[in-house]
Amino acid sequence: MTDSEYLDEELQRLSTPPAAGAGPLSSDSFWKPIEKLFSKNAITVDVGDTVGTAIAKMRETEYGAVLVTRKGKLAGLLTERDLICHVVGVIDDFEAAKAGDVMRADPVSLRSSDPIVYVLHNMQAGGYRHVPIVDEEDRPVSVVSIKDVARYILGHFPEDVLNVTPEPYRGPPSREGA
């Protein structure tokens, strides 16, 4: 995806008004189901797949995280941040390492029917940027990222966001020595 296509997609998402009846942003907005935050389905790798496979899927889909499964159920989470902090430059031949050996095992997960406030709480309290969403059998459904949360909040203020300049105006530049 080119930068231009990415920007067009983001502008389209921001200019799409909240769901009918969403109303203004209020504390009630955060008690709506997590499924309101979904932008993409989860991408997964098996615990036996290589880190190289996980990285390739992340690049291909432009996701910041993959869910690691064991027999189709959530076993772990592997994020770009995990790769940078704990894998690349730490493990020799990291691309051949197994995803199950480097994943964050048994991550906090939620269901699509849980309120958005639980995503916010887990992100804030746990310092997470990604929260896996699973079904009743712990099969991956989606991953909610901090970007999805920001998009949801900003979706309540499309005019304010779309009408701002890319950089703040700080007045005319001053001439040196004047």
Query: Could you tell me the residue range of the domain that residue 149 belongs to?
Result: 27-162
* Domain presence at residue 75: yes
Task: Match 């200019």 to its residue by tokens.
Answer: 15
* Domain presence at residue 175: no
The reported pTM is 0.77
- The pLDDT of residue 14 is 59
The more confident residue out of 92 and 78 is 78
* Domain presence at residue 64: yes
* Domain presence at residue 14: no
* Domain presence at residue 130: yes
* Domain presence at residue 71: yes
Query: Do 64 and 130 touch, CB atoms closer than 8 A?
Result: yes
For 116, residues 6+ apart whose C-beta sits below 8 A from its C-beta are: 29, 30, 31, 32, 33, 34, 36, 37, 149, 152
Give the CATH number of the domain where residue 146 resides: 3.10.580.10
* Domain presence at residue 171: no
* Domain presence at residue 121: yes
Res. 170 pLDDT band, cuts 50 70 90 = confident
- The pLDDT of residue 21 is 41
Q: How many domains does the chain have?
A: 1
How many CB atoms lie under 10 A from the CB of residue 81? 14
